[in-house]
Structure 1
Amino acid sequence: MPTPDRTSLDAIVDAARELLELDGLAALTMQAVALRVGVRAPSLYKRVQSRDDLIQLVAEASLTELAERLKSAQTPADLANRFRAFGHERPAAFQLIMTPAAGIPVARPEFGAAASEPVLELAAELAGPDRALEAARTLTAWAAGFVSMELNGSFRLGGDVDRAWEFGAAAIVEAIRATRSDSLSIA
């Protein structure tokens, strides 16, 4: 009679996400995850083929969580604030999905597309459907850059970083709105 499975893929991914936040990507090993879920490392290979596959699954789960958070946003400020809150609550996951280092496995495209959907919808409202993709990329790049700088402790000139966030979010939304009626050209 075969031995019963002692863990699930969801439990493995949850444990890996917890380890990522506690100890960083370098500490995310099959052995560490196995210990966390209470099995021997070889048992993990029944569910996950390699560490790279595990990292990809963590990235996909993180994007799924981000997508869920963004879907219920009611305003541009709410969407931006939800994005920022995710970065602050899950800084290692944020960096994994927004700024992965070279050679780090990334999520499959459909997970990124699902997380982008609420941003694209908002961008279409702000800039119009013809400029939705460009507007979404602009908003995402600004927000991801700001949050990444926060997480890295890069704002060292003093002042209120929350006020800077509010100012920047309002300014970028207003600039995107302005493109709806203006024709943009880069000279």
Structure 2
Amino acid sequence: MCGGQLRGPNGIVASPNYPVQYDNNANCTWVITATDTTKVPSHQLMLYANTENVVLMLLCYANPVIKLTFEDFDLERGYDTLTVGDGAVVGDQKTVFHVLSGTTTPDLVVSTSHQMWLNFKTDDTSGSLGFKVSYEEIDQGSCGDPGIPAYGKREGTGFRHGDRLHFECLPAFELVGKKNITCQKNNQWSAKKPSCVCKQ
């Protein structure tokens, strides 16, 4: 399917014809919206009324955000692109997270609002196999779980703003990338998840 309005809590976005080669001159836009932006509690607040010894509990709500995880990605480098942006104003350059082409992608992308858009454009020459991306609603203030590299291990279990993860590789493997990554306030990790490759 070339474009559409999608709603959470999770689902798949794929290029037309995937996993077969996509069409030339495509211009597809998807807008993903969280299913419920009013019923996700971010924390609890306890209030005590001393005069009557009454305890009040308030639930403070925060809109969920959208996490994208790239499962497969192969576009004609420099000619065919997938642009990923925040919110629902498609094409607004101020909201663009990434303009992706070729075979290199981020581990994941997390929106700062309850919506995210993707725009897939191809030229009039031969293409490639395309892409497959899964989306999922997660709590606001989180960068999402970046995973653990194959043949590696990870220290740290938090994925919220300010949390840091440390990566190491098993013996006989060496780490490529950053050993430490931090969840930033824009809901993005400070670097991609590293990989572990066999020592030469």
Q: TM-score, normalised by structure 1?
A: 0.21
Higher helix share: 1
Higher strand share: 2
